[in-house]
Amino acid sequence: DGGITQSPKYLFRKEGQNVTLSCEQNLNHDAMYWYRQDPGQGLRLIYYSQIVNDFQKGDIAEGYSVSREKKESFPLTVTSAQKNPTAFYLCASRRSMNTEAFFGQGTRLTVV
């Protein structure tokens, strides 16, 4: 079955550590996205990529980094510079600009 896989589902990080969230898709989609969702709020765009080896900052990119070395993969690193990283992180992909985005099941990151 085609889809988007995010791992891990739950992640705990100590303050000062970098962590990387995985996102893999087998839908052959060009565009991929990372969103952050805080309790009771909508989705805020962190980074997006329209093509391999290219990505753009979203609205809240500070403290995050990404790479897009393969079409299928778009990992997100939450660095120690992110002051409030505890949140629900969602990865998505789209076939083209006018089509809907499909989401993974999310990774819940908690700083301990």
Partner 1 sequence: EDQVTQSPEALRLQEGESSSLNCSYTVSGLRGLFWYRQDPGKGPEFLFTLYSAGEEKEKERLKATLTKKESFLHITAPKPEDSATYLCAVHQGAKETSGSRLTFGEGTQLTVNP
- Binding residues for partner 1, rule: CB under 8 A, are 4, 6, 31, 33, 35, 40-45, 48, 50, 56, 58, 88, 90, 92, 94, 96-106, 108
Residue 59 CB, nearest distance to partner 1 (Å)? Answer: 9
Token pair 């993974």 is found at 104
Residue 73 CB, nearest distance to partner 1 (Å)? Answer: 17
Residue 21 CB, nearest distance to partner 1 (Å)? Answer: 13
Instruction: Compute how many other C-beta atoms are within 10 angstroms of the C-beta atom of residue 108.
Output: 14
Distance, CA of 84 to chain centre: 16
**Minimum CB distance to partner 1 smaller for 10 or for 15:** 10
